[in-house]
Amino acid sequence: MNTDDPVVPITALKNAAPKLTQSMSDDTLKELIHDATVNTLADGFPQPVDGKWNDITLTAIKYLALHLASMDTSAGQGILDEKVAVLERKYESKIGKDWLHSSVWGLYYYRLWKLFGGGSNRYGVVQH
């Protein structure tokens, strides 16, 4: 896999979540796409066949990359509540599959994983 040429265009991330990605450099988004690609394939989504990527896998990569991008926000860091006067901060756990439930993009990815990845495999993707 060539990290200089992401499988999901950077513009796809910017168009899907403009506010989330507006302050991120293209290099950062490229790295998130690379990490998401590795994790998506490790999670059991279909591998490319003859250099052609499956649309489900590409969508899962996009969702996971956006989920990873959202982890740089206060909600992504697990902050549930913050008080200024008393300076109190509460955190939620980011361990296990619940980590994916902390952003809408993680939920989208988890849904695809349950359907087509290493989840329950209710639907199979036939690779030709």
Among residues 66, 78, 72, 73, the alpha carbon closest in space to that of 104 is found at 66
Who has greater pLDDT, 14 or 110? 14
**Closest of 113, 2, 5 to residue 67, by C-alpha:** 113
- Which two structure tokens, joined as six digits, stand for 55? 């649309």
DSSP state letter for 71 = T
Q: What is the pLDDT of residues 49-69, one digit of tens each?
A: 998 999 999 999 999 999 999
E strand map for the chain: 79-83, 88-91
Of the pLDDT bands very low, low, confident and very high (cuts 50, 70, 90), residue 115 is confident
Question: Average pLDDT, stretch 90-101?
Answer: 62
Q: What does the block give as tokens for 96?
A: 């296990």
